[in-house]
Chains A and B, each alone.
Chain A
């Protein structure tokens, strides 16, 4: 993927786009006019029967040729809306209601449909967030390339094969992938294919909308590396839209921070890192820390070892009050003992090997302990959670909770287990029935597990809402899930888990779908529940920073096996296994990247 191959490819393709070669960015004439000049751009959402929402509010900025700029903001900040507006892909109810988008000096809002379509070759391209779904499931990868060549005629027919092979090579995939259907590729591979497709347009500007968000941690890291090296070798101007300030600071030279439809900060990555001007930027930054550091603290979380040494709880050290109501700790509690557990699934296709999801895992979760189970997807961590809750039975080994053998429970005894061991799920958007009010959602488990009367249940619902910090409770009790934010929904999910007054909470990636500013609150809630109520916590995650914050011990799982275990702070500071190191390296850390650069 050297510059020579690109020039050869572009030249034979008859492309004349200036930005296709890296040198154009340095040309004196080209540098003078910005490639993109956005002036007072506003985008509004107008849904029938609802108050219009100004998603992008008078935004202005310029991009120089060859720049790699990050656009950061939390969900609802308008960053994706802006990205879609820049490439004129926004659809009703979104509408650009004022301002100009000058691409290479011409306002793209003025283009008619056919001009716009032609502009997409050699102009601006977009890589979507869910790149894995960006490919037509019934067409081969090759046909996707050919569709683009046919639409624009920028690659002569006799070069189709060679050009496709070249592009697929640029994103580090084997040529054989061209004959596959999208369904036969992994998520990371599909995202690479969609990057290659966008590249085939020889764009001057590429907009990457959360290109790695839906991917697994380690894959995320590799795809970002590819994007970075492509940007350098191909010399296109790029906008990287992301909710993750870490990723953005690590990759780009300049960062735009977006909040409530406005750009609140625009500066070089170093400026933003060292001297953030805006309150919101400072808040975002404060939620980043290196999980390997000696002392790790976030807003509301003093470092664990420091706290432990002083014998203080999270709430003592934080300025905020404990998020849970004080209550006596449980007296008699049981430990969960996982003893030599394996889980083997039947082969997905005949003739293949059986899938060994979990292999000979043993650990004990003591009452009041918090244990992290980390690993990438497919490492077996969720399968373990399913076995502990009795949803799946182990193929070998035994899981006991007190005197209950989890796999052998039937009928009433299963209820006992479920009363004491509760799950908090990853996706708060999917874990709540959209048709029921919060009150109803919480009443069900209360009545089912404790047999409370209507009046008692009503009281308990209010208590629970108070516990998880959803006040005023009367208001929240009547709400439907869609009226709540992601963080509030996850609190409802936790409240539901608490309804049966459990001894153990198994939290499966409880904050991975939440914005950073909301994560700390949910993590604090879990920590306080453990400290104040003595609930033990099995925290399943791929996010090592949060594991460092709220767990005492850690278990690193890889391919179903425990590759490393020990005290969380110890393991993360002095990892022994290569896999743990790889996981740690995948954590985006703006400071580390800047230091090495």
Chain B
């Protein structure tokens, strides 16, 4: 990438989105995406096409914003790199030339730059990293991505599924210990900061009891491959970070689902289903939970979108080489090309996840298809 600067402001904004895999219920966005109801005549295809159109439009806007924002900053990336070097002593003209040649300076007018930027985005060419020089951004991201997607992705889905089930049970058995335990526990656990839970687990199960490895995604003695031995080793290393994320994000889903379900339990169709003598399992699952889950799906979509951003704190504490770890180092090292690529990736994955949830919504809620 030729001009790779990004303002700290957008960085912060995206960071917020990136760490969104924490299992919040996403109340405001829930209404937002539901308000975006299709107004066109019926037909599943039409609904999908409409959502797809909206997705493409938003995607284009996000990509373009990613192009415009860095250009609003004064100076070039070369200036930034030189300024960094200048702290250690005077920079010669030759060095400046070399850096400029290496990083590139914007060529052509703004439209030509835009076209070449789009080309780079499509070919996933995001330039060279500053901090991990001489590796390219694409290399770094493709190495880190599997770790994060598998760890955070699996745990996020697991947390949603388990949390939702517990929430359903708690609401259905409202007022019993089956409700009190998860509700209290859920509120308690979700107030733990990530890093604190992580440190506690690390200290006791890692350093004191030596049950789990304390750092990395695999042992220093193994090399990444698709062998059974490596997979077992990687899974072993992922247990502690997985538990940490699960503990802190589970509570949100439990509470969200419980509260939504308590609302639907008060709805007339649930009372009427009971009056008609339906089996309590049918009433709980097909009537109450089936409707209660709808608003939670939006939160789930956001959480899934946030998966790609990794879990910065957890990955940092466990030295887990995922996207969050990369992002942290990129921000610390003012590695603009890397940051810009990561932010773009996070934005795109949030959009994709939202698009998928919209489609899922259409499948699950006939009212959105109208």
Q: Which residues of A contact B (CB under 8 A)?
A: 87, 89, 92, 113, 116-121, 125-126, 128, 130-131, 133-139, 147-148, 150-152, 181, 183-184, 194, 197-198, 201, 349-351
| CB pair A128 B277 closer than 8 Å | no
A-B contact pairs, 29 of them (CB 8 A): A113-B280, A117-B279, A118-B277, A121-B277, A125-B275, A125-B276, A126-B272, A126-B275, A128-B268, A131-B268, A133-B267, A134-B271, A137-B367, A138-B291, A147-B273, A147-B276, A147-B278, A147-B282, A148-B278, A150-B282, A151-B279, A151-B282, A181-B366, A181-B367, A184-B370, A194-B272, A198-B276, A349-B39, A349-B40
In angstroms, Cα B269 to Cα A130, docked, is: 9
- Which residues of A sit under 8 angstroms from B274, Cβ to Cβ? 89
Q: Which residues of B contact A (CB under 8 A)?
A: 39-41, 175, 267-269, 271-280, 282, 286-287, 290-291, 294, 364-367, 370
Closest-by-CB residue of A relative to B42 is A349
Closest-by-CB residue of A relative to B364 is A138
Asked if A151 meets B277 with Cβ closer than 8 Å, knowing A194-B272, A349-B41, A351-B41, the reply is yes
- Which residues of B sit under 8 angstroms from A137, Cβ to Cβ? 269, 291, 365-367
| CB pair B277 A89 closer than 8 Å | no
In angstroms, Cα B272 to Cα A198, docked, is: 9
- Which residues of A sit under 8 angstroms from B278, Cβ to Cβ? 117, 147-148, 151
CB distance from A137 to the nearest CB of B (A): 6
CB distance from A90 to the nearest CB of B (A): 10
In angstroms, Cα B268 to Cα A390, docked, is: 37
- Which residues of B sit under 8 angstroms from A349, Cβ to Cβ? 39-41
Closest-by-CB residue of A relative to B291 is A138
- Which residues of B sit under 8 angstroms from A125, Cβ to Cβ? 275-276
Nearest first, the 3 A-B pairs at minimum CB distance are A120-B277, A134-B272, A133-B268
- Which residues of B sit under 8 angstroms from A89, Cβ to Cβ? 271, 274-275
- Which residues of A sit under 8 angstroms from B287, Cβ to Cβ? 136
CB distance from B23 to the nearest CB of A (A): 24
CB distance from B365 to the nearest CB of A (A): 6
In angstroms, Cα B311 to Cα A68, docked, is: 66
- Which residues of B sit under 8 angstroms from A194, Cβ to Cβ? 272
| CB pair A128 B366 closer than 8 Å | no
In angstroms, Cα B275 to Cα A136, docked, is: 14
In angstroms, Cα B272 to Cα A126, docked, is: 8
- Which residues of A sit under 8 angstroms from B41, Cβ to Cβ? 349-351
Closest-by-CB residue of A relative to B370 is A183
**Partner of B365 from A117, A126, A138 at Cβ < 8 Å:** A138
Give the residue among B267, B271, B370 with the most A Cβ atoms within 10 A.
B271
| CB pair A87 B269 closer than 8 Å | no
| CB pair A136 B40 closer than 8 Å | no
- Which residues of A sit under 8 angstroms from B39, Cβ to Cβ? 349-350
- Which residues of B sit under 8 angstroms from A181, Cβ to Cβ? 366-367
| CB pair A136 B273 closer than 8 Å | yes
| CB pair B268 A130 closer than 8 Å | yes
| CB pair B277 A117 closer than 8 Å | yes
Asked if A201 meets B364 with Cβ closer than 8 Å, knowing A147-B282, A351-B41, the reply is no
